[in-house]
């Protein structure tokens, strides 16, 4: 592949195209789910907010493809190699693993290990600070959502929450 072709696939236009493809697939998935069309007590559809979010992200992705800077290559992507493609895949697998663990263990038990690993991976040091934040942030989030009346998965701790 010529260097110009490699840079073209790293441009804002290409990123917009990648995002558009993923978001159209996500919108199709949401539209095919029965819960998306369920009418709530207030008359709104359960899937209204996710669809609005996908629609707005889709507008932004299309904007990347048509804006004046569409041929620019973002600074962080100029030196990107094919060997770097595993990083987002590992992150997606980690998120999927966290959701899987959250269903079984609960929010308060599944989220701290995930946050701790992510904080260390993204360079937060020292490890004690990452561990403290990994325990404090889920506790605060859990408390906030509980105060709002939104139940997060309690899992093994369901006897206490």
- The larger pLDDT score, comparing residue 50 to residue 157, is at 50
3 pLDDT above the threshold of 70? no
Ramachandran quadrant class, 43 (left: phi over 0; alpha: psi -120 to 50; beta: rest): left
6 pLDDT above the threshold of 60? no
Task: For Cα atoms 111, 117, 120, give the angle at the middle one, nearest 5 degrees.
Answer: 135
Domain boundaries in the chain?
1-80, 84-161
Beta bridge partners of 45: 39
Give the percent of the chain with pLDDT over 90: 52
Of 144, 94, 142, nearest in space to 119 by CA: 94
Lowest mean pLDDT among 55-59, 71-75, 131-135, 154-158: 71-75
39 backbone dihedrals φ, ψ, rounded to 5°: -85, 130
CA dihedral 115, 107, 86, 131 (to 10 degrees): 20
- Full-model pTM: 0.59
């Amino acid at each position: 592949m010529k260097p110009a072709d490699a840079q073209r696939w790293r441009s804002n236009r290409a990123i917009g195209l990648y995002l558009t493809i993923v978001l159209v697939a996500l919108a199709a998935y949401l539209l095919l789910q029965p819960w998306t069309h369920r009418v709530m007590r207030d008359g709104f559809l359960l899937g209204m907010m996710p669809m609005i979010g996908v629609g707005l992200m889709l507008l932004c992705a299309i904007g990347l493809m048509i804006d004046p800077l569409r041929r620019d290559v973002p600074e962080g992507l100029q030196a990107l190699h094919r060997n770097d493609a595993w990083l987002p895949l590992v992150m997606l697998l980690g998120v999927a693993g966290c959701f899987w663990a959250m269903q079984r263990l609960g929010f308060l038990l599944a989220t701290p290990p995930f946050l701790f690993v992510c904080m260390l991976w993204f360079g937060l040091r020292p490890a004690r600070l990452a561990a403290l934040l990994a325990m404090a942030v889920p506790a605060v989030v859990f408390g906030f959502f509980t105060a709002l009346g939104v139940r997060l998965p309690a899992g093994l701790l369901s006897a206490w929450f």
